A and B are shown apart, each in its own frame.
Chain A
Amino acid sequence: MSQLVERRLARGQIGESVRREDAVPKVTGEFAYASDLSASGMLWGDTVRSPHAHARIRSVHVAAALALPGVHAVLLHEDVPGRKTYGLEFPDQPVLASDRARYHGEAVAVVAAEEPEQARRAAAAVAVEYEPLDAIDDPERATEMPPLHPDRPTMGHGFRDDPRPNVVRHIVIRHGDPETRGDVCVEGVYELGSQDQAFLGPESGLAVPDGEGGVDVYVATQWLHVDRDQVAPCLGLAPEQVRIHLGGVGGAFGGREDLSMQIHGAMLALHTGRPVKMVYDREESFVGHVHRHPAKIWLEHRATREGRLVCVRARILIDGGAYASSSAAVISNAASFAAGPYRVDHALIDGTAVYTNNPPCGAMRGFGAVQTCFAAEAQMDRLAAELGIDPVELRLRNALGPGDTLPTGQVLTGSLPTAEVIRRAAAIPVPDPEPLPREPIRLPGGAGNTTRGEGVRRGVGFAVGFKNICFSEGFDDSCAARVILRADGGAEVHCAAAEVGQGVAGVILQVARTELGTDDIVLGSHTTASVGSAGSSSASRMTWMAAGAVRDACRAALAERDRRGGADVDVERVHRHPPTTPLDPETGQVTGERAHVALAVAAMRVVVEVDVDLGLSRVVWIGTVQDVGRAVNPAAVEGQIEGGIAQGLGLALMEEILTHEGRILNASFTDYLIPTALDMPPVAIELIEDPEPDAPYGVKGVGEPPTVVSTAAIAAALRDATGLPLYRVPVRPEHIALR
């Protein structure tokens, strides 16, 4: 059979709505999540965490815990075999706290016991003597407070030098002449609360000693190789002695980029010589991982009377909490996108990420862009009102596109169909208001039956959001894939891309089928043991990067087979997107061609109903248009958009980590509410496929833009319904009524 005919026969290629291979084991309960793993002779680990946001640790007594039945180990800071600190970007976080705890939930000791309940009791029996210290809980005052990290771990990495204490990163973007004045000016101060990723599968993993001094860790994570590169030095081991394997992942959304149990479990396993499993409960998950940065944003938009943006000035403050995590990249993103997807010749954007004793923050879907989109889109609506121009029309007049320049000086060379996205989203017909009376479940307040429709106002909002795809600012962003072609025509594909629920495993198979022209393909397990790094399942990068790597490896394998005339072949290829360069630390301007490799844009129209007497809101309908480059799996793209919107809706209406003096007050699903089946409206989706010239098959990531734009769009609809400025999300009933 000729190769051409074979290719056409392979089902499930790029562009088809292919069913997930893991869907059947997931619906039957057979799929093994990290929390479902077990090994013979397995112990259970547990973590002792600081109840204080800031405290000196005077002493730790372990004897009582060790004496309890079933307990095999209690390990402290001094038991960390190698480097004592770790971190995703900067190793500023102790594996176990020694003399000081800097946040509520910081790990102080780990224990292992025969039974989970014994481990819990042992953790409770570890006697830690704390001397509580004043918590730095106000990010606006953090730079005047004593430093939490006197050694300033994030300085000297090419960032702007900022001598103030507790600065993770300060970025200034100065473009054109920021003193330029227009005919009109609108100003606003906006705030966003901290959001939790709230993935349903709590942190969990199993560490198994290999009997030769090394360890295998099976864990729910987003980036296997960067875990290994943090774990191995802390264990005092060579990288190849630590093998990280993907345990089934119950959602991630950025919250699994930082380590959870990896080092702790491996320490306990190596110490006891037995497999050790650790599973967080929901409360521990809330205090044990990073969250979305709460932010305060001051914005000034200047425009001509005709509605052309002239100058945007912004100050952005994000609270990184106790450790750096990815705050430096988040503030860079926030600053980069502060003007929205609009042309503006003059800008001054000043962004600071600070250390505090509040819950640590890091990556969450939308990563900096969510925060500034909310603020910038509110500004566009205010500007439209000030000018008497229709808000959609104002956005169209300023829509950013290829050939235009970002405030960082980057000239856009790739695809960014902002105007088309706006036009099409504005054209999706909005459903007519549903007549009254109606079932209370379809009114604000829902089953609470709080209204029959009196006091209910309808509002329609519109917003546009954009975000970078892949890693930026000179990061060497790569993904490896390995393809084995067997003599019998079958193939095996290995890629360490973390399948976190988003569907990258399916993408890998679709690409391999497309390139190899067969559907006799097995996907190897995701592990550091058999293939190079895939990079992170984050930043909307994994589809692009995995598609590139698998395509390259497949083509190389076919060429190799041709060259050898048919024998077994085994090739590995590393894919890199076009390089990016850092921003100038003084001016925030690009030092090369681009700081972001590509961008994606989405627009959204939202209808809400608000009971203005009680402040209760209901999102009635959402219509959205998203620029996706090319939809590898259209049904899966829709799923990403619907799910991304739900998270944006959560931030707009209900989700916030509440703290008092740095301590989390609502670490449970009873007190921290996420959208349920009753909260989600129907969503009308249109995809724009405008291929990204630098990406394999023209793909763009699709996971983040819906989250970026939906919080802003829902807030706009709430403003329309209530006539209130609503400067802060989540919008709570008391912001609308009973004020």
Chain B
Amino acid sequence: MRIRLTVNGERRAGDAWGGESLLSFLRERLDLPGSKNACEQGECGSCSVLLDGVLVCSCLVLAAQADGHEVVTVEGLGGADGLHPVQEAFVAAGAVQCGFCTPGLVVATAALLERSPSPTDDEIREALSGNLCRCTGYAKIFDAVRMAAE
């Protein structure tokens, strides 16, 4: 089936099979592999994107459901003129090791700061609890979020 949507501000289209997830559609059809697949079950948050401004796990959304909607992926967060402040903070805080969780965490953090510009530590933990990271123990990720909030 033909899917038409806006991704990172651009009109895009591609063919998907009926059961195809938005994650697979972005990665394999639109050549946007920034969103990661670490579980395909909504458990890890590595595939997080914004769908009409709302944080979702793109592995749990069908490509068909995104037809006609607007998607922002990690590739589109920063815009043409450089890094998004959250991306800058992740680099500066040393919050990246293997980085497989990073695209999802960056998108989730951007969504958090959008709705709560100065989150408490509890809020940060709760907001990011759906994004697994196996490398960092989260400490430097929390540093990055606090840094980006400033």
Chain A residues within 8 Å of B136, by CB: 639, 642-643, 646
Kindly state the interface size class of chain B when it binds its partner. 35 or more
A475 within 8 A of B: no
Interface stretch among A8-16, A526-534, A678-686, A731-739? A678-686
Chain A min CB distance to B66 (Å): 18
Chain A residues within 8 Å of B138, by CB: 642, 646, 676-677, 680
Would A677 and B41 count as touching, CB distance under 8 A?
A: no
17 residue pairs A–B, Cβ–Cβ below 8 Å: A24-B91, A27-B102, A27-B103, A29-B34, A29-B73, A31-B99, A197-B134, A198-B134, A200-B132, A282-B38, A636-B94, A642-B138, A643-B136, A647-B134, A677-B125, A677-B141, A680-B139
Would B92 and A19 count as touching, CB distance under 8 A?
A: yes
A678 and chain B: residue at smallest CB distance: B129
Q: Please list the 5 inter-chain residue pairs (A to B) with the smallest Cβ-Cβ separation, ordered nearest first.
A: A29-B34, A501-B98, A26-B99, A250-B100, A642-B137
Chain B residues within 8 Å of A279, by CB: 37
Would B34 and A30 count as touching, CB distance under 8 A?
A: yes
A439 within 8 A of B: yes
State which residues 95-111 of B face A: CB under 8 Å.
96-103, 106
State which residues 122-140 of B face A: CB under 8 Å.
122, 124-126, 128-140
State which residues 161-188 of A face B: CB under 8 Å.
none
Would B41 and A670 count as touching, CB distance under 8 A?
A: yes
User: Which residues of B are at the interface with A, using a C-beta cutoff of 8 A?
Assistant: 17, 24, 27-28, 32-41, 43-44, 46, 73-75, 77-78, 83, 87, 90-92, 94, 96-103, 106, 122, 124-126, 128-142
Would A36 and B33 count as touching, CB distance under 8 A?
A: yes
- The CA-CA distance from A202 to B38 in the complex, in Å, is 6
Picked from A24, A441, A500, A670, the residue with its CB within 8 Å of the CB of B98 is A500
Chain B min CB distance to A275 (Å): 15
Chain A residues within 8 Å of B102, by CB: 26-27
Would A28 and B74 count as touching, CB distance under 8 A?
A: yes
Q: Using A27-B96, A201-B98 as known contacts, say yes or no to A674 and B134 having CB atoms under 8 A apart.
A: yes
Would A22 and B39 count as touching, CB distance under 8 A?
A: no
Chain A residues within 8 Å of B87, by CB: 24, 27-28
Would A669 and B43 count as touching, CB distance under 8 A?
A: yes
Kindly state the interface size class of chain A when it binds its partner. 35 or more
Chain A min CB distance to B91 (Å): 4
- The CA-CA distance from A281 to B40 in the complex, in Å, is 8
Q: Using A642-B137, A646-B138 as known contacts, say yes or no to A501 and B97 having CB atoms under 8 A apart.
A: yes
Chain A min CB distance to B41 (Å): 6
A430 within 8 A of B: no
Chain A min CB distance to B126 (Å): 6
Would A23 and B35 count as touching, CB distance under 8 A?
A: no
Would B35 and A200 count as touching, CB distance under 8 A?
A: no
Chain B min CB distance to A203 (Å): 12
Beyond A501-B99, A644-B137, A646-B136: 10 further Cβ-contacts under 8 Å? A27-B103, A33-B100, A35-B36, A282-B39, A646-B134, A669-B39, A674-B132, A676-B131, A677-B126, A680-B137
